[in-house]
Amino acid sequence: MSTPNPKGFDPTYILPGEQVGYYQIERLIGRGGMGATYIVVRDGLRYALKIGLTNLAGLNPKQRREEEARFRREVAALSGLDHPHIVTVRGHDFTSSAASAASYPYLIMEYVEGSPLLTWRKDRKPSLRLLLTVFAQLGGALQTMHRLQIFHRDLKSDNVLVRTENDEPVVIDFGIARPLSTQTVTRAFSVVGTMHSWSPEYCQYMSSQAMEDGQPFVNTPQAD
């Protein structure tokens, strides 16, 4: 049995054995500015659960609408994608508990066992042929996304996992992805993405979202 968190519910401090909806926490596998990710189990199967860091119950109505819009955007971006090199979304919901009024959005996704792209490159030391194959597969994933007018906006090594079983890449973490058809809720003069992965076009305030994905994709093999 897990020890209760003395601070109350904290999305970055969910202990092994605790429940989120129908899913039992196995362990934390990562956290960042957009959320925390856990391995969870349901009916003997493992999934990845990504939970946001904003308690929607603590926001004013306008702020809550904005955060719910961000969450719906990520769900819409992932749900419309069906590609072997893009993570598959299995469901979504908001946390709820009789013991807490907190409400955090979370996504349930397939669990990808693998390493971030640069870690895989250093550890696996792939041949040029295999490296080119991996990047061709990533290119196919981006092409599918762009065909559906969905742009990741934070493509970098940490958001590409290479499967342990077959050396195939999977694009993950669509926390700031934006379907072109949705109304933007990004605040004026705010920035998105990871600075060292920005394209020159983004830095110069150009509007081509496809180039924003393409430039870090091209630069990733040389990054350390």
User: Catalytic amino acids?
Assistant: 154
CA-nearest of 126, 127, 194 to 154 is 194
Tell me if 122 is assigned to a ligand binding site: no
Answer yes or no: are the C-beta atoms of 208 and 201 closer than 8 Å. Answer: yes
- Please, which residues have CB within 8 angstroms of residue 68's CB and are 6 or more apart in sequence? 56, 105
For Cα atoms 138, 69, 5, give the angle at the middle one, nearest 5 degrees.
90
At 100, give phi and psi (nearest 5°): -150, 140
- Give CA–CA dist 148/77, Å, rounded: 9
For Cα atoms 3, 31, 160, give the angle at the middle one, nearest 5 degrees.
135
- Give CA–CA dist 209/212, Å, rounded: 5
Burial label for 6, CB within 10 Å (0-12, 13-18, 19+), is exposed
Residues flagged as binding site? 50
Residues flagged as binding site for ATP? 50
